[in-house]
Amino acid sequence: MLSTMQYVPLTVTRILTHGMTVHSNSSVTTWTGEAEPLRRSFREIGRRAARLAGALRDELGVGNSQRVATLMWNNAEHVEAYFAIPSMGAVLHTLNLRLPAGQLVWIVNHAADRVVIVNGSLLPLLAPLLPQLPTVEHIVVSGPGDRTPLAGAQAQVHEYEELLAGQPTTYDWPELEENMAAALCYTSGTTGDPKGVVYSHRSIYLHSMQVNASESMGLTDRDTALVVVPQFHVNAWGLPHAAFMTGAGMLMPDRFLQPGPLVEMIDRERPTHAAAVPTIWQGLLAELTSDPRDISCLRTVTIGGAACPPSLMEAYDKLGVRLCQAWGMTETSPLGTMAHPPAGCTAEQEWPYRISQGRFTAGVEARLAGPTGRILPWDGTSQGELEVRGPWIAGAYYGGAVSEHSRPADKFSDDGWLKTGDVGVISPDGFLTLTDRAKDVIKSGGEWISSVELENALMGHPEVVEAAVIAVPDERWDERPLAIVVLKEGSTVDGGSLKAFLGESVARWQLPERWAFVTSVPKTSVGKFDKRALRKRYADDELDIAQA
């Protein structure tokens, strides 16, 4: 027996048309560094998206399933590309502007991008790569910036606003099949080559609905979201699509990502929601400590990409801002969990839930696999690798322009579940607590030590700015933790004092004997601690190790 319901494909186009009509007066505000930011209504964004689609089709010859790349900051033009490219049947490919040049070249060639839309300020990054990008036929430049780096480029160069000016404000959007490719993101490549994840129209639509659910970010047209998380990082965690669904305004920081400008944005524009990785909020906290400002307009801050230190949550609680931890990855679109405590908890009872990665959202199924592959119970103690599946979870990696999609055995189970590489436990009521990445856990004397637990505890010390912990070889125990610490300026704290501090909350056998003090911890392109770089610095004897 079949249903009597109409079949209407779930597409990005429907999110666009809904936003520009039902929520036409909602706005995208782009910070410019000037007295007044740039404001565009959703209606105007939709009309400009139609013009962009027309230009890509008529002037640049972009057809169905062809890849159009963006190398852009978070701004209104990038939002226009988010909707125009997939809605016309092409594939949006966001390029991570923080990746090394070699990885960018590899990714563009693997995706076979035909067009790159680039902000003018990023031309010094793109131009030197163009001789190595044979598939790129057109460069579209948006916003201020010196164009001379493109002199002599073999690809045709166009001005974004000039292309749009020659097109009508309407476009005959095609009726697309919902399982068609809509967007393409690559993992950050911390192990091996980056891997391509292709999102469908359907997966984006369903993920957007979940982002807006009250158990997740719960955005409405009364909200304005400060979108600090880059648009090249898993579609800005789905916020642009989710905002067009509900009419939530968007405040886009463009290239002004330093703590000072971010605090000024919050102070002047009064957003109610924000999203970024922990390092952003640590920098913001330092700025607010030296120059206090009222940021209590922020109803909720979604924090993800890495574990949030409990001390950071406590500090923002005192400012009237609630940090809510989330978990996800490129392969999960990314929303997998949100750490909203269950109903009926007191403030004290909420704390264990808040410092977990959160409860699985509807649509994400999860299980834990032990070392032998046995599926473990949700009992809060059984520790295994997290595996997930669902309608916005990757089932394979993009194989490139001339090869099939791939399902490597170390990334997917025989029955199709995604192996996340995260190790943790799940409580009976579905709250996930991650203890480490599988590649980062410290295997000492037959026991596991969580690098994340040690890092969070260390960052609770008032003199510690950042702390990263890696495994290093040990003749007796196989591996032991090395703590790499950034102290506040002028601090005289040493490894012995920090070890004693850790001993108040961490088992004695887990305490690091090796300590290194640095001016900063290297970060990956998405703001996480770059432990691969730290392991290399250790192997190359570039760290000054002290015993404690």
Q: Which one is catalytic: 106, 378, 448, 477?
A: 448
According to DSSP, the residues that pair with 71 across neighbouring strands are 118
Other C-beta atoms closer than 10 Å to the C-beta of 509 total 10
Tokens coding 442: 């410290």
According to DSSP, the residues that pair with 304 across neighbouring strands are none
* CB neighbour list of residue 88: distance below 8 Å, 6 or more residues apart: 53, 56, 57, 62, 171, 173, 174
For residue 186, which of 134, 233, 230, 139 has the smallest C-alpha distance? 233
Cα separation, 197 vs 407, whole angstroms: 12
- State whether residue 454 is helix, strand or coil: helix
Catalytic, 331? Answer: yes
Q: Which one is catalytic: 29, 187, 300, 302?
A: 187
The one-letter amino acid code at 302 reads T
Q: Do residues 307 and 456 touch, judged by C-beta distance below 8 A?
A: yes
Q: Which one is catalytic: 21, 161, 289, 443?
A: 443
Cα separation, 83 vs 101, whole angstroms: 27
Q: Do residues 147 and 157 touch, judged by C-beta distance below 8 A?
A: yes
- 12-22 helix and 239-246 helix, angle to the nearest 10 degrees: 50
For residue 160, which of 263, 262, 80 has the smallest C-alpha distance? 80
- 259-269 helix and 278-290 helix, angle to the nearest 10 degrees: 80
For residue 189, which of 423, 533, 453 has the smallest C-alpha distance? 533
Q: Do residues 395 and 412 touch, judged by C-beta distance below 8 A?
A: yes
Q: How many Å from the N-terminal Cα to the C-terminal Cα in the chain? A: 71
How are strands ordered across the β-sheet holding 196-200? 156-159, 138-142, 115-119, 67-71, 91-94, 181-186, 196-200
Q: 14: part of which helix (H) or strand (E)?
A: helix 12-22
Tokens coding 530: 């770059």
Other C-beta atoms closer than 10 Å to the C-beta of 523 total 17
Cα separation, 128 vs 378, whole angstroms: 51
Cα separation, 273 vs 262, whole angstroms: 13
Q: Which one is catalytic: 77, 178, 287, 331?
A: 331
For residue 350, which of 315, 317, 301, 304 has the smallest C-alpha distance? 317
Q: Do residues 72 and 253 touch, judged by C-beta distance below 8 A?
A: no
Tokens coding 486: 């950034």
Catalytic, 187? Answer: yes
Cα separation, 443 vs 453, whole angstroms: 14
- State whether residue 333 is helix, strand or coil: coil
Q: Are strands 91-94 and 478-487 parallel, antiparallel or unpaired?
A: unpaired
Catalytic, 264? Answer: no
Cα separation, 353 vs 322, whole angstroms: 13
Catalytic, 443? Answer: yes
Q: Give catalytic residues, as residue numbers.
A: 187, 331, 443, 448
